[in-house]
Amino acid sequence: MFPHSPDSGRPSPAEAARELADRVARPTAADRDREGRWDARLFADLAAATAGGRAVVAGAAVGGGPAAGAGPDAPAVVPPPAGALVPASLGGAGLSASETCALLHGLGEGARDPGLALALGVHAVLATVPLRAFGSPEQRERYLPRMASGEWLGGLSLRQTQGTSLAPAVTAWPAPHARDGWLLSGTLDLVALGPRAHHFLVLAAHQDGRRTAFVLDRATPGLHVEADAPAAMPTCPWGRLVLTDCLAPSAAVLGTPGGAAAEVEPLLAALDWVFTSAPWLGVMRALTRDAVDTARERELFGRPLAHAQSARFTLADLATRCELAEGLLYRAAAQFDAGGRPSPQDAAAARLFVAAAARTVAEGAARLAGPLADDGDRLIERAHRDALFFAGTGGGTEVLRPVIAASLLGLG
| Torsion sign, CA atoms 143, 272, 32, 319 | negative
Burial (CB count within 10 angstroms: exposed 0-12, middle 13-18, buried 19+), residue 61: exposed
pLDDT score of 58 = 32
CA–CA dist 321, 212 (Å, integer) = 38
- pTM strictly above 0.85: yes
Residue 240 — φ and ψ, nearest 5°? -120, 135
Quick: pLDDT tens for 211-229.
999 999 999 999 999 989 9
How is the chain split among helix, strand and coil, in percent rounded to 5? Answer: 50, 15, 30
Burial class (CB in 10 A: 0-12, 13-18, 19+), 411: exposed
Q: What is the distance between the alpha carbons of residues 299 and 162, in angstroms, rounded to a whole number?
A: 46
Question: Residue 110's pLDDT is what?
Answer: 95
Q: Are strands 223-227 and 238-248 parallel, antiparallel or unpaired?
A: antiparallel
Where does the pLDDT of residue 1 fall: very low under 50, low under 70, confident under 90, or very high at 90 and above? very low
C-alpha radius of gyration, the chain, whole number? 21
AA letter at 99: E
Mean pLDDT of the 74-93 span: 78
Residue 51 in this model has a pLDDT that exceeds 60: no
pLDDT tens digits, 251-291: 999 999 999 999 999 999 999 999 999 999 999 999 999 99
Tell me: pLDDT of 64 over 80. Answer: no
